[in-house]
């Protein structure tokens, strides 16, 4: 039987794999997507903080281009997927003990607006009691601005439907076995439906998220790679409602940013950041992370919730370049790593943000396209 040939084979049907498949097929490339699970978005693309935003906190580390790009992508997603991506009011309360002063928050929001965000307001004191029971003692100021939220897994599936509608082939429950470099691409072997199958690809995209280097271990010759750090981010779902919007809270213990937001009739709290060295599929919230998030919620909302009140929890993994500094302050720029800079036939996506998935796919396809002509 003749081996199937594709212009591009993508490993991973998370948000970046789905976006690459969409952009590739819309440009006329034949495309196969291999996904290890029985459905798309079973890894980090269903375990994020559900936010479509520019990344206000990235201004503190001068990641201005990233913020500008994400705000542009937020506007695009609001227009293209209005049923899935919706604008939401965000509130930032500033207390006597807060690390950031009101003038600093106002300055950051002003810059956020210049880079493409919408306007912001300082909430009048007489409206504070309407803010979902947030603690008022020591409260100095509250700022309101606009970003957006989504169902990350549903958005991934929607992007993937656009890809398959344009002709991409999706193979679920496909175990990638190996890829062997040939003169004009790769020979791939994968297992699906109890059989070992082969195909050829002129270009291979490794969009497997926290599994990226495990995938590269099965490529011959072994390509260059980046040293990475997996960072677990945990969330909890707790009973209650937040009527006004999403709260951008400063952890009283380590000053990290944590969000409290409405989610499916309850409240979603997250996220944490801790180095993770286990199998990606085994990541889960720790007892300490659950207590940490509950402590932040109880500090600001005085609800007195205990671990037994947690309805559910989940954890996802960020892929960050290995570096000595804290994950919270590390760059969130996406890295596109070729196997051979002179004649690339494989690109590995390190990192990436839910908000900017389409921009990442466009950048990657602009690097891939010249090698087809």
The answer to whether residues 212 and 348 touch, using CB atoms and an 8 Å cutoff, is yes
The reply to whether 89-147+228-322 shares the fold of 4-45+153-227+332-372 is: no
Beta strands in the chain (DSSP E): 4-11, 31-34, 51-52, 86-95, 121-122, 139-149, 169-171, 175-182, 185-192, 195-206, 219-220, 228-238, 246-250, 257-263, 266-270, 274-276, 312-321, 335-338, 346-350
Residues 6+ apart with CB under 8 A from 370: none
Of the candidates 246, 51, 286, the one whose C-alpha atom is nearest the C-alpha of residue 132 is 246
**Per-residue exposure over 53-92, b if at least 16 CB sit within 10 Å of its own CB, e if not:** bbbbbbbeeebeebbbbbbbbbbebbeebeebbeebebbb
> What CATH number labels 89-147+228-322?
3.30.9.10
| 253-286: pLDDT as tens digits | 999 999 999 999 999 999 999 999 999 999 999 9
Return the pLDDT at 224: 86
Return the pLDDT at 223: 93
| 30-51: pLDDT as tens digits | 999 999 999 999 998 999 999 9
CA 311 remoteness from chain centre: 23
Query: Which position has the token pair 């309805």?
Result: 311
The answer to whether residues 349 and 207 touch, using CB atoms and an 8 Å cutoff, is yes
Return the pLDDT at 317: 96
Return the pLDDT at 333: 81
What three-state secondary structure class fits 285?
Answer: coil
Token pair, residue 19, equals: 């976006």
Number of neighbours of residue 130 by Cβ within 10 angstroms: 11
Query: Which position has the token pair 């892929």?
Result: 319
Helix then strand then coil, % of the chain, to nearest 5: 30, 30, 35
What three-state secondary structure class fits 112?
Answer: helix
Rounded-to-integer distance, Cα 52 and Cα 49, Å: 9
Return the pLDDT at 308: 96
- One DSSP character per residue, 53-78 reads ---GGGGGGT-HHHHHHHHHHHHHHH
Token pair, residue 208, equals: 């497997």
Token pair, residue 368, equals: 């891939």
- Residue ranges of the chain whose pLDDT lies below 50: none
Q: Hey, where are the domains in the chain?
A: 4-45+153-227+332-372, 89-147+228-322
Return the pLDDT at 373: 72
Token pair, residue 64, equals: 């201005």
CATH match for 4-45+153-227+332-372 among 3.50.50.60, 3.40.50.10800, 3.40.50.740, 3.30.70.360: 3.50.50.60
Return the pLDDT at 331: 65
Query: Which position has the token pair 């490529």?
Result: 219
């Amino acid at each position: 039987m003749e081996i199937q040939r594709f212009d591009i084979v993508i490993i991973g049907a998370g948000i970046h794999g789905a976006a690459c498949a969409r952009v590739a097929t819309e440009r006329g490339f034949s495309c196969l997507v291999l996904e290890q699970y029985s459905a798309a978005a079973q890894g980090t693309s269903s375990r994020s903080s559900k936010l479509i935003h520019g990344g206000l906190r990235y201004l503190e580390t001068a990641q201005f281009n990233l913020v500008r790009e994400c705000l542009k992508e937020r506007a695009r997603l609001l227009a293209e997927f209005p049923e899935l991506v919706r604008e939401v009011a965000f509130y930032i309360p500033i207390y006597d003990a807060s690390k950031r002063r009101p003038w600093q928050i106002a300055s950051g929001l002003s810059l956020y607006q210049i880079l493409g965000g919408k306007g912001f307001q300082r909430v009048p004191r007489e409206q504070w009691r309407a803010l979902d029971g947030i603690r008022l003692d020591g409260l100095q100021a509250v700022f309101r601005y606009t970003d957006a939220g989504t169902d990350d897994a549903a958005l991934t599936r929607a992007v993937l439907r656009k890809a398959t509608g344009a002709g991409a082939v999706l193979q679920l429950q496909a175990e990638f076995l190996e890829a062997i470099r040939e003169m004009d691409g790769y020979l791939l072997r994968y297992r699906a439906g109890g059989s070992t199958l082969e195909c050829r690809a002129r270009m291979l995209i490794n969009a497997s998220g926290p599994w990226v280097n495990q995938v590269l271990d099965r490529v011959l010759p072994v390509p260059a790679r980046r040293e990475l750090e997996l960072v677990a981010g945990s969330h909890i779902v707790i009973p209650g409602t937040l009527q006004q919007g999403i709260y951008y809270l400063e952890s009283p213990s380590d000053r990290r940013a944590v969000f409290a937001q409405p989610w499916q009739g309850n409240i979603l709290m997250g996220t944490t950041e801790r180095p993770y060295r286990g199998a990606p599929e085994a990541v889960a919230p720790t007892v300490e992370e659950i207590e940490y998030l509950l402590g932040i919620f109880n500090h600001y909302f005085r609800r007195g919730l205990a671990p037994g009140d947690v309805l559910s929890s989940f954890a996802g993994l960020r892929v960050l370049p290995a570096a000595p500094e804290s994950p919270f302050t590390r760059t969130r720029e996406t890295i596109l790593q070729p196997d051979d800079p002179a004649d690339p036939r494989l690109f590995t996506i390190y990192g990436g943000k839910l908000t900017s998935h389409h921009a990442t796919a466009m950048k990657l396809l602009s690097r891939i396209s010249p090698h087809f002509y």
